[in-house]
Amino acid sequence: MSQSTPPPPQPGFGPPVTPPPFLAAPPSATVTPPPDRRPPRSRLRWIVAAVVALALLAGGGVWFAVAGDGEGGAGDGKQADARFDGPGTEKKPATTEAGLLFHVNDPKVGKGDFYPAPGSWVTEETYVKSGVGNVVGYDLDSGRQVWEIPLGGQVCGYTQRLDEGRTGVLYRDGREAKGKATPCTEIAVLDLDAGMLLWRGSVELSGKKTIFAQIAVGAGKVAVAGDEGGAAFDLATGELRWKPQPGEPCYDMAYGGGDDLVALEVCGQDGNQRAQVQVLDEAGKARATYKMPRDLGFAKIVSSDPLVVAAFSEDMKLTDYFSIDRSKGTLRSKIAVDPERTMKACTLDAQAECPGLAVGNDRLYLATAPRPEPGKAAASNEIVSYDLATGKATGQRADSGGKTPVFPLRMDGRDVLAYRQPTTSTPGQVFRLDGRTFKETVFLSVPPDGEDAQVLRHFAPGTVEFRYARGRLFTAELYIREPYSKYEPTYLAAAFGAG
């Protein structure tokens, strides 16, 4: 949306978001929808964005914040070992001291304009970032632009998952006029390896394009969801697999991707609604269903395998994580968290995934809230883990060491990759936590002095995406705007690594 003032960075990750009413969206050209639009629904209380666990992170060279599958924190040694994931792919570089490899400047925009630009990916050879009405690929080493996919509108929904280099995005129908956003009705499937648009389209209901808020890739499909329900299409061809049906008592509000699609479905009308989480078969029918408690305010899928759903209170504070058995549709455990003592890792923004946490080894990895320490300029915190089978803390704890706050980036096999925020006197670092011992190994460290460090400090958690892959740290803004002054640097993205 073009508007005059962007939201300021918030503690934790992402700006606070008032849950929007969810609607629906697109296929390979234009899909003919049901003849009658379903009755209008008032604002829905179940807000979801899918974050794919293991497949989301490891699939096709995608790297991001929430991930997982595997391990646990209870039982004997044999049982615990069986629940650990396999070894990761990231290796400690020969040189860990890193500097700026390249940066990408913001595209020039009009006076007072500011555009949301969510979405960034890493492939074998390319760093990919959304821009103003396009998606652009940059060479991993030099930052040279190697391709551009024009969309004609801003990206308004994305997923980190890649399926053989392909992913899906939602984008707005045309460029935005000043102060007025166009609707999020268009879907595109992109081949990020080749830099190609594979197909695009939209869905019409009663002669009007349907608005969608969320997108997922899984099981060879791209699925989109919103207030009118969900639809799914063949990822390769855009062939429609299913679509919203008028008069349904229940409808899909969001999806999670992976080897299977997971749906968060809402049943009932306003004031008497209940959400349920479903693991879907090839035809979109539920193989397993778990009914969420009625007294929850909002929900969001944060991992598909293992299946983890975040629950929010009426005032939009994250209070619990539900660990759900994918095969039986039963509750494995509930992990209660204090929103005042836990770093904000998830918001209710349906366009965004959940940075700042990781899921793997059958555990949930979270960062505690930064706490000031007497006599120290920087606040410290810890990364801790919870057993998804029992809901109990495992006792694993990685202290920031009295330095700046740390938080998980993603899983790498059985290990956790994490980030230490930089200051003017301490380096910004990417480090590995051994999944079994929680021993810390630094992979990348940007010294605190010099211009490179200034660029890294520009990308403060709040409205920034972090990706780590192949020994490089990639940072990207979620917004594009006019500089406040001619002296202000305008970085859209930057890459750090050993020269």
CATH number of domain containing 133 = 2.130.10.10
Residue type present at position 10? Q
pLDDT score for 243: 87
Per DSSP, the three-state class of 310 is: strand
**Helix then strand then coil, % of the chain, to nearest 5:** 5, 40, 55
pLDDT score for 373: 72
Residues 6+ apart with CB under 8 A from 95: 498
**What is the full per-residue pLDDT of the chain (499 aa) written as tens digits?**
344 344 333 345 444 333 333 222 233 333 333 333 233 343 344 443 333 332 232 333 222 222 222 222 233 333 335 567 888 899 999 999 999 999 999 998 888 788 899 999 999 999 999 999 999 999 999 999 999 999 999 999 999 999 999 999 999 998 765 657 789 999 999 999 999 999 998 888 888 888 999 999 999 999 999 888 899 999 999 999 998 887 888 999 999 999 999 999 999 887 788 999 999 999 999 999 999 998 888 899 999 999 999 999 888 889 999 999 999 999 999 999 998 899 888 777 766 678 789 999 999 999 999 987 776 666 789 999 999 999 999 999 999 987 789 999 999 999 999 999 999 999 999 999 999 999 999 999 999 999 999 999 999 887 899 999 999 999 999 999 888 777 778 899 999 999 7
Residue 21, domain member (yes or no): no
Residue 22, domain member (yes or no): no
Residue 2, domain member (yes or no): no
Residue 15, domain member (yes or no): no
- Overall domain count for the chain: 1
**pTM of this prediction?**
0.84
Residue 205, domain member (yes or no): yes
pLDDT score for 205: 82
pLDDT score for 38: 35
Residue owning tokens 């808020």 = 213
The DSSP code sequence of 175-229 is: PPBTTBPPP--EEEEEETTTTEEEEEEEEEETTEEPP--EEEEETTEEEEEETTE
At residue 452, φ and ψ (nearest 5 deg) are: -60, -40
Residue 422, domain member (yes or no): yes
pLDDT score for 177: 59
Residue 9, domain member (yes or no): no
String of b and e for 324-352 (b: at least 16 CB within 10 Å)?
Answer: bbbeebeebbebebeeeebbbbbbbbbbb
Nearest to 81 by CA among 437, 494, 493: 437
Range of the domain at 260: 30-497
Residue 24, domain member (yes or no): no
Per DSSP, the three-state class of 456 is: helix
Under DSSP, the state recorded for 97 is B
Q: How many Cα atoms are found within 13 Å in the side-chain-facing hemisphere of 330? A: 4
